[in-house]
Amino acid sequence: MSGVPLSWYLILSAVLFALGVAGFLLRRNVITVFMSIELMLNAVNLSFITFSYQWKQVNGHIFSFFVMVVAAAEAAVGLAIILTVFKNRSTLNIDDISSMKN
């Protein structure tokens, strides 16, 4: 029975990260942009766990766990900010929420 090469996991992680970056750059809806960030965090988690397997250490799992906790906190605060912005501006399009730009 043959195993899966370790690099396949890393390539999958890179592909998912690139998809997250693409969503972050191309999408205009603030909720979808936020979901793209979650996709990138998931890709990085997969890398951590793959390297944890490579070095037979549990430390990568701990880092992945902390990433998960921070993602949960970030989702709570970020979605609260989106709610507030929507209440004040009545839009979810990030092109219309650019008052901090200039």
Binding site for other proteins (CB under 8 A): 1-12, 14-16, 18-23, 25-29, 31-32, 34-36, 38-39, 42, 45-46, 49-50, 52-54, 56-59, 61-62, 64-66, 68-77, 79-84, 86, 92-93, 95
* Spatial CB neighbours of 76, under 8 Å, sequence gap ≥ 6: none
Nearer to other proteins, 49 or 100 (CB): 49
Nearer to other proteins, 82 or 99 (CB): 82
Closest approach, Cβ 99 to other proteins, in A, equals 15
Closest approach, Cβ 40 to other proteins, in A, equals 10
Per the CB < 8 A criterion, the answer to whether 48 and 64 are in contact is yes
Nearer to other proteins, 5 or 102 (CB): 5
25-47 as b/e, with b when 16 or more CB fall inside 10 Å? eeeeebeebbebbebbbbbbbbb
Question: Smallest Cα–Cα separation from 82: which of 47, 37, 46?
Answer: 37
